[in-house]
Amino acid sequence: MEKQLDPKTLAERYRLMLRIRFHEEAIKTLFTQGKIGGTTHLYIGQEAIAAGLVAQLRKDDFISSTHRGHGHMLAKGGELKPMLAEILGRADGYCKGKGGSMHIACITLGNLGANGIVSGGLPIAVGSGISAKMRGTDQITVVSFGDGAANEGNTHESMNLASLWKLPVLFLFENNRYAVSTETSRSMAGNMEKRAAGYDLPFARVDGNDLEAVHFAAQDAIAYVRSGKGPFVMQGDTYRIEGHYYGDAMVYRSTEEVDGWRKKDPILRVEKLLAERGIMSEAEYQQVRAEIQQEVNEAVAFAEASPQPALESIFEDVYTEWQA
C-alpha cells in the first residue's frame, strides 16, 4: 500500500490548502475592486506543493520564494491578516506595507522573501546555506523556482556552488508548465533530472498535485539535506490554473487544457481521500470550507481597516540613509 498521511495531519494540510486557495480567491476580488496596486500572481492549483513540502519544515528553517509566493509563506506559518494587509500595502502587513505581493518577507518565520526577479531566490538560498554551514546548525533552506527560472543563469550557478560546497539547500522545482505564455516544451532543453545529475545532485520527481506524494518525497529530501550530505533537487509537476498574473487574457492556451487540469485540482483530490478514508464526510469538509472562508473574510476586513503606512516610515527599514 502507498504511504498515507495520518488522519490528523491530512486534515491539517487540507485546512492549509484551503487557506491558501481562499486567500488567493480573496485577492482576485480585491484586485478587481482596484484595491491592490501593481500586479499579483496567484498560486491556485499548486497548493499541494507548499502544503506537502514547506509545511513540514521547522520554524528555524528558511524558505526563499518567488513572485508566486503567497502559498509558500502561508505554509511556513504566515498568518492571513498580515499577509492580506501587506498585499493591500497597509501598515499592519508583514513588511509594514512596503513590500506588497512580490516582496513579502518575514525573518522570524524564516521567509527570506518572495522575489520579483525570476531565479533571484536561488542565490539567496545559497547564501543562507553558507550561513547555516558556517554557524554549524542543521537548518535547511528550501528555494522554490519555476520552469522559467530553471533556464536562468542564476539557477545553474546556484546549483553548481551549492553542490561543490555541499550546502544544505533543497531546490524545489515547481514545473507549472508555463512561464508567462511560454509552454515548457518551447523553453526548456533536456530536463531537470539531467541537469541535477550534471551538478552531481540527487533528484526526485513527483506529481505535484498529489499532496501525499509530495509529502513523502519531501520528507526524504529534507532528511537528506538536513543530514549534511548536501543539496537535493526535487521536481513537482503541476499546473498554473490562473493566468500568469490575475487578469491575463490567456489566449496562449485552450479552455480544454485548463479544464482538464481543473479535474486534477489538488484540493478535490484531498477531499476524495478524506471521504474514502472515513476522515470527513462531504458535509464535514463543506463545514471546514465555510470555516476557512470565514477566517479569510475576517482577514480581508482586518486588512482593509489597517491604516496606510505613515509617510515618514518610508525612511525606516532601509539599508542606506538618504542625504541631501
Ligand X SMILES: Cc1ncc(C[n+]2csc(CCOP(=O)(O)OP(=O)(O)O)c2C)c(N)n1
Best CA proximity match to 214, nearest among 18, 9, 77: 9
The contact pattern for ligand X, residues 53-82, with x = CB under 6 A and - = no contact, is: -------------xxx--------------
Q: How far is CA 273 from the centre of its chain?
A: 23
Stretch that binds ligand X, among 93-101, 146-154, 227-235, 284-292 (CB under 6 A): 146-154
| Residue 180 interacting partner from ligand X, Mg ion, none (CB closer than 5 to 8 Å by kind) | ligand X
The contact pattern for Mg ion, residues 210-239, with x = CB under 5 A and - = no contact, is: ------------------------------
SS in 3 state form for 72-109? HHHHCCCCHHHHHHHHCCCCCCCCCCCCCHHHCCEHHH
Task: Decide if residue 246 touches ligand X (CB under 6 A).
Answer: no
The contact pattern for Mg ion, residues 171-190, with x = CB under 5 A and - = no contact, is: -----x--x-----------
Angle between helices 282-305 and 7-32 (to 10 degrees): 40
CB of 92 to ligand X, least distance (A): 27
Alpha-carbon distance of 268 to 257, in angstroms, equals 18
For residue 25, give Cα distances in angstroms to 176, 211, 238, 282: 19, 20, 19, 22
For residue 124, give Cα distances in angstroms to 64, 141, 299: 7, 9, 30
The residue (of 120 and 230) whose beta carbon lies closer to ligand X is 120
Task: Decide if residue 148 touches ligand X (CB under 6 A).
Answer: yes
| Residue 86 interacting partner from ligand X, Mg ion, none (CB closer than 5 to 8 Å by kind) | none
Alpha-carbon distance of 26 to 231, in angstroms, equals 36
The contact pattern for ligand X, residues 195-234, with x = CB under 6 A and - = no contact, is: ----------------------------------------
Task: Decide if residue 100 touches ligand X (CB under 6 A).
Answer: no
Task: Decide if residue 147 touches ligand X (CB under 6 A).
Answer: yes
Q: Dihedrals φ, ψ of 207, to 5°? A: -70, 110
Give the SS3 label for residue 171: strand
Alpha-carbon distance of 113 to 67, in angstroms, equals 9
Q: What pairing do the DSSP bridges indicate for beta strands 232-237 and 169-175?
A: parallel
| Residue 90 interacting partner from Mg ion, ligand X, none (CB closer than 5 to 8 Å by kind) | none
Q: Which three cell numbers stand for residue 19?
A: 487557506
Task: Decide if residue 178 touches ligand X (CB under 6 A).
Answer: yes
* Residues lying near Mg ion in the complex (CB under 5 A): 146-147, 176, 179
* Residues lying near ligand X in the complex (CB under 6 A): 41, 66-68, 116-118, 146-149, 176, 178-180, 240, 244
